[in-house]
Amino acid sequence: MILPEEFDVIVLGAGIAGLSVADAVLQSGKSCVIIDPKKPGGGASGAPALLINPAAGRRAKKAWMAEKSFDIISSHLLYIHQQTRSPFFEENGILRPALTEEIASDFKRSITKYNWNEGWLEWIDKENFSQRFPYIGNHHGGLMVKKAITVYGDSFLRNYSKILSKKYLRTVYGQYPTLFKYKDKWLVDLGGGAEYEAGVVVDATGYQQIQSDYWKFLPLHPVKGQLATYYFREPLNIKTSLSSLGYMAVSSIRSRQISVESTYEHHFEDLKPTPQASAFLQKKLEKNLPGLLGRSSGCRQWASVRITLPDKMPVIGPHPEQPGLFIIGALGSKGMLHGRMAAFQLIRQIYEGIPADKEISISRFL
Ligand SMILES: Cc1cc2nc3c(=O)[nH]c(=O)nc-3n(C[C@H](O)[C@H](O)[C@H](O)COP(=O)(O)OP(=O)(O)OC[C@H]3O[C@@H](n4cnc5c(N)ncnc54)[C@H](O)[C@@H]3O)c2cc1C
């Protein structure tokens, strides 16, 4: 009989949450295996394009711990880029056209209401907005979120995983793990008997957490979203991503494409892209950037599920009845902004006993 290989921590799921947890584990001098039935970025974090937008939501409310989380993720993206030389992100800002007078008032209010750092937000009135961004359709002025990043999730996470495996992270991709408990250890079976064991397991499986019996007591809610990437023969003359009922991601590093996203299905049968959502995204592109669609040479659809809690905040912490089992999840629409910070808080809680911030702690549901 072959004995299971021992690690300090088993991480399930190689999205932004799982890879960040594995990174934090290695940084605290512990050993770690990460397991994913797909590949890094096989879930929602692997979106072809995502925005790191600290002024999200209809009213451009400042995100929780916006400055700190933004610093943490932006310096990390830069680090992975420097290690791999792979271009997968750009800090190119986000433009938020105000589609109604009411939204325009909310945006203007956001600037004074939320105590933003100098230079993060700029309100642009209707006339100036039309002059500076003549390609944008109907608007009542708009907000420029200057501290914002466009990131290609699939490419980022692939590179992130590569860097971590050079630092002795064991990666197991493409095999479905079954988790079970034996005495005071957690074991993972990949189909031929127990392969790995650890005292600590972190569940970072995203949408899978909703199906898990362990987390039934959490009011996790799935929202399916679809993203259409349109390709062009010529570079687009649009430098800044847009956020307007979903988003439109562009950057100079992939200047011949635009990814149009919207997350809107609360009840869905399967996880694949649908023709209805494709038609909706096409209309959205036409409405916001009139004339662009006709120049496109092709389009690819992608769909996935993000998980939220009623308070729209992440959750991290121990299972109340299963010693050694932890969760990081419900990253909602700000997974890229908050994922890394939440992961490091979780590992500090496990190994240094530093309690997580109450806003994201699992204790708020116990
Ligand atoms: C259409 C769409 C657009 C989005 N846009 C943005 C955006 O612009 N900005 C932003 O910040 N966020 C955005 N999000 C949200 C963001 O993607 C999520 O908050 C974030 O990806 C969640 O990360 P995660 O690591 O928790 O989950 P995931 O990225 O889903 O990772 C979970 C991983 O677990 C794996 N897994 C599943 N079952 C198991 C199992 N049994 N064992 C082991 N592994 C398993 C999966 O294969 C997957 O790789 C978007 C989401 C969607 C759906």
pLDDT digits over 154-199, tens only? 999 999 999 999 999 999 999 999 999 999 999 999 998 879 999 9
CA of 246 to the centre of ligand 1 (A): 17
Dist. CA 38–CA 78, nearest whole Å:
26
Judgement on whether residues 242 and 303 belong to the same structural domain of the protein: yes
Count: domains in the chain: 2
Structural domain ending residue among the three candidates 308, 329, 352: 308
| pLDDT band (50, 70, 90) for residue 58 | confident
**Final residue in a domain of this structure, among 308, 333, 348:** 308
> Do 124 and 252 have their domain in common?
yes
Using the mean position of ligand 1's atoms as its centre, give its distance from the Cα of residue 205 in Å.
8
Domain match, 300 and 320 both: no
Among 150-164, 274-288, 305-319, the range scoring the smallest mean pLDDT is 274-288
Shared domain check, 190 and 242: no
| Distances 281 to 58, 108, 230, 285, 287 between C-alpha atoms, Å | 19, 28, 10, 6, 10
Residues 232 and 133 in one domain: yes
* Ligand 1 binding pocket mutation candidate from 50, 151, 189 (most atoms within 8 A of CB): 50
DSSP strands (E only) in 161-283: 170-173, 178-182, 185-189, 194-203, 221-232, 241-243, 247-249, 257-265
End-of-domain residue from the set 288, 308, 328: 308
Tally of CB atoms within 10 A around 298? 10
Q: 322-338 pLDDT, tens per residue?
A: 999 999 999 999 999 99
Same domain, 234 and 353: no
| CATH code (residue 244) | 3.30.9.10
Q: Can you name the residues that pair with 10 across neighbouring β-strands?
A: 33, 201
Q: What is the DSSP letter of 142?
A: E
Residue 9 sits in the same domain as residue 83: no
Which residues have C-beta within 8 Å of that of residue 155, sequence separation ≥ 6? 86, 88
184 CA → ligand 1 middle, Å: 30
- Distance from C-alpha of 250 to C-alpha of 248, rounded to nearest angstrom: 7
- HEC sequence for 197-225: EEEEEEECCCCHHHHCHHHCCCCCEEEEE
What is the 15 CA–ligand 1 centroid distance (Å)? 6
Full residue range of the structural domain in which residue 293 is found: 50-151+221-308
- Domain of 171: which CATH number? 3.50.50.60
Share of the chain above pLDDT 70, in %: 99
- Cβ distance 328 to 21 under 8 Å? yes
Q: Do 166 and 270 sit in the same domain of this protein?
A: no
For residue range 73-126, what is the model confidence (pLDDT) as tens digits?
999 999 999 999 999 999 999 999 999 999 999 999 999 899 899 999 999 999
Closest ligand 1 atom to the C-alpha of 302?
A: 1
CA triple 204-66-262, angle to 5 deg:
65
pLDDT higher than threshold 80 for residue 1: no
CA torsion, points 47, 52, 55, 57, in degrees to nearest 10? 10
Tell me the CA–centroid distance for residue 228 and ligand 1, in Å. Answer: 17
* 235-281 pLDDT, tens digit each: 998 999 999 888 999 999 999 999 999 867 888 988 999 999 999 99
Report which of 247, 225, 248 is spatially closest to residue 305, judged by C-alpha positions.
Answer: 225
232 & 188 share domain: no
Residue 143 confidence (pLDDT) = 96
Same domain, 102 and 147: yes
- Same domain for 208 and 330, yes or no, is yes
Q: For ligand 1, pick from 21, 36, 179 the residue to mutate: most ligand atoms within 8 Å of CB.
A: 36
302 plus 187 within the same structural domain: no
Out of 208, 284, 325, give the residue to mutate to test ligand 1, the one with the largest number of ligand atoms within 8 Å of its CB: 208
Which residues are near ligand 1 (CB < 6 Å)?
Answer: 12-18, 35-38, 42-45, 47, 50-52, 177, 204-208, 225, 227, 247, 261, 263, 304-306, 329, 331-337, 339
